[in-house]
Structure 1
Amino acid sequence: MLYIEIHQLFKRKLKIAQIAKHLKINRGTVYKYLGMSFEEAQEYLGNPLQKPKKLDPYRDWIVAWLEEYPHLSAAQIQDWLLERHPNLEIGESTVRSYVKEIREIYQIEKKSIVRHYEAVPEQPMAKQLQVDWGETKQKTIRKKEVKLYFIAFVLAHSRYKYMEWLDRPFTTKDAIRCHENAFRFFGGYTEEIVYDQDHLLSVSENAGDLILTSEFQAYIKDRKFRVHLCRKADPESKGMIENVVKYIKGNFADSRVFKDIESWNVSALQWLDRTGNKNVHNTTKKRPVEVFLVEKQHLQPVSPILSLESNHTVIIPRNINKDNTIRFKSNRYSVPVGTYGSQPDNQVYLKIKQDTLIILTQADGEILAEHKISNEKGRLIKNRNHSRDRSKGIEEIKQSVISSFEKQEDARAYIDEICQIYTRYRRDQLAILLSVIKSDPEWINQALQKCIYEKLYSANDFRDVVNYLSKSNTESISAIYKSNIVPTSKTKIKVTTRSISTYTSILEGVSNE
């Protein structure tokens, strides 16, 4: 009994908030039960001598859920029960009648949520798949709020569904990856896929990302399916997927507590298995999972290997940590020392190829590092070549840097000052200088004089000055090439005039010769 558990925890000196968190109920429920005697609780919960019902063992939980979330539907209650008790066999009508009775006994009024359903013409098997995006705000286990994004798929004939979640807005590559995952989930794909035109071109629920890019068009060409863009406010074309998005928000996501995106996606697939694809559909009066068994045979088969692996590989941006590592799936992977601070916004890009993690400078840039992906958690996966080069002493590295400059005395004074300021990080500072000298040798002498004049004694400052000089000169040259004719009205060139006698003397000299 919930009443007994609350009193036992209270006797163990747990606070009200701790009891509520432990039992996953409202604090008001804890206060209410603590204020009752056992006999009062029995009377409150109804006559214990009445005919027992199948859901009576779960009565306290159902009451607590409804008191905290009055808007919950019987379908959600059933899903929560099955999530906690997978072996429970209970019919939908039984849950509906029991929840209705609970509401009447405890005067828990259900908040009315208006839902709009649109008539959609029946589609033949394997003809059409509808796709849409959505977002929700969820409470976390730390009582904070996080925004989550999802993409939903539904087969128009069987109403068989698939969804995938992210804790950040979708990108084009995410959309392509999720399409491939959905096709594998369905065991094939349809002739036509329906999208909301607004969502493809300017998706408000997708952070405005443009999905219909050249990359996505190339993917469509590879997969050879037809795209249908429905008009704005056209429920006849996309009513099914709109209802699926509402269903996911209102049943799966509603009042669910977020822990991490991996476990959230696992729960989503479990929900599809026990509820989303198992419950009888309101329109077809059939279970999607049963109709899907027939429709699946008519889907176009998914090729095991697609050019997606090479042309549409998922690229994931990642920030570089100060210790020159990046995080991926609860592990840290090393990049060469000096990478932190050398990349724009300290960002690199990850590409996953089978069991290998490839770290790139840009989405299509050079490879910084390659690591075998670890299945463990909390590990540091480090390449020995990424450590500092300790085969050379500080003085040897310093001399190598100094010899790269024209004015070596100035360079020596400048580098000595840096080494004195950054005593503990001399090797790192020199490594950055060597990297700059190697990548942009054309501007290092000019940058040296600028840094000395401005008293910028840092390898990072030196690198920034070199980048500035390189960029400024590139833009200047570009501007000259773009402007073939300089308007005379804008020139301020003074022309020196000479007397006529000057030209006469020159001509006389020429004629005499």
Structure 2
Amino acid sequence: MCKFDMYTKINQLLELGFSKSQTAKKLGISRPTLYKYLSFEPKEMLDWIDSTKTRKKKLDPYKELILNWLKEHPDMTAAQVEDWLKERYPDLNVSESTVRNYVRQLRIMYEIPKENNPREYEAIPDLPMGEQVQVDFGQTVQETPEGKKVKLYFIAFVLSNSRYKYKEWLDRPFTTRDVIRCHENAFEWFEGIPREVVYDQDSLILVSENGGDLILTGEFEAYRRERGLKVRVCRKGDPESKGKIENVVGYIKNNFAKHRIFINIDQWNEAGWDWLNRTANYKIHNTTKKRPVEVFQEEKKYLRPLTKKINISSPYSSITRVVRKDNTIRYKSNRYSVPLGTYNKQKEVYVTESKGYLFIYEKADGPLIAKHKICHEKGKLIQDSQHRRDRSKGIDEFIKHVSSYFSDQEQANVYLNTIRKEKPRYIRDQLQIILRNIKSEDQSFIDQALTECINRGLYCATDFADMIKYLKGLHPSASDEKERSSRKINLLDHHSHFLYETNTQIRDIGEYIAVLEGRQ
């Protein structure tokens, strides 16, 4: 469609009563483009169209280069073209949309269709009854009676054979404890437990794939063991392995939630369960050509019996986050700091959000280790100044601190400063080693070790630590003596009497000499 035809079509649709948003959507253009067209009178529109025909485009000097790329690599994206241009011409200032439009026009003009390699799929036979349930999350934005917008979150379950479904909603993000509670409700709805549960890679459930040896969040792993669940997590980039639940999520959004007015979460869930019975589980399924509720009557016989229900109740947050090496956690596309030293391998903290603040806890029931104001941007580092390394305390302060553990602080200060002169690059490490070795030792050993190291010229932290161990060996404590004296010595009995009479064979030295001289 040419520009003037587009201009005419826009005005016709608006005259028919379509809104500007509906008009833009019908014509496949953006609203800024629509507003730009509407800003012209008919004559002005014709003049503008004529000017665009003769106007030189910003990327025209690079036309042949881009054209060669597209001909050689028909599957090349506009984003990659932009990257290659900026790689070769760092001073080129061009927007992403300009490159995208230019590449599109070149493809049309020179008939270079974009190649793609679509993934091939094959039909997978239905699993046996009672074998598997698939689980996934979704969210929608609903309108309230007052015309306000509210974001809602849901978790959905579907039995792979019968396609029998269950779902539950919250008006806040799910926590791990919420997920566990919903599992219990789903198993009660299904009147049993399937042999396998399939999930997406959700941080409420999974910490790491670990090459197939799944590492689940601590709370969910405890629940999995208690219920004896066999868990399988879909691989990245492979949502088709749980396509049934993907369809259910879309079905919930488009059939149940779309255009529905939200009043409160309890009424919403009640309406949702009615919808499951009335529509989702009753209507004939498009693939199986059967009603899920009818097939379910047979499938539930193959489910593992549901014994006692596990009650989930805790006032504390159970959203966990792994602490990264830089002592931060990721939360909603941003990084939030935790105190230095919090990180260790697979260290998890618990987070909760309240009144615009993010609270980070050491454990599910505390203590609180960090509090940050929630940032609504993305890619930001939110850092508490108290979580940064205190650089105001230099080496002088550190030496003063370590010296305070000695009776003769002046002598200790001289000793530590000598180490500083001999090992200036490693003085902080040296001080940390000494501090670590004196914190829990008797004062007498500390002072004696200092004197001995100075007398022997041992100006090294490891030598100092060895000296403390040496002195402790010379002067064992009463507890060490008691432990040594309490050790039972097993005497040889009459069965081992032959050991007394054993004689070691003595070989003549001449035999060794003969071997060395090559005579044997």
Task: Please state which band the TM-score falls in when normalised by the shorter chain.
Answer: 0.3 to 0.5
Structure of higher CA gyration radius: 2
Using the size of structure 1 for normalisation, the TM-score is 0.40
Using the size of structure 2 for normalisation, the TM-score is 0.40
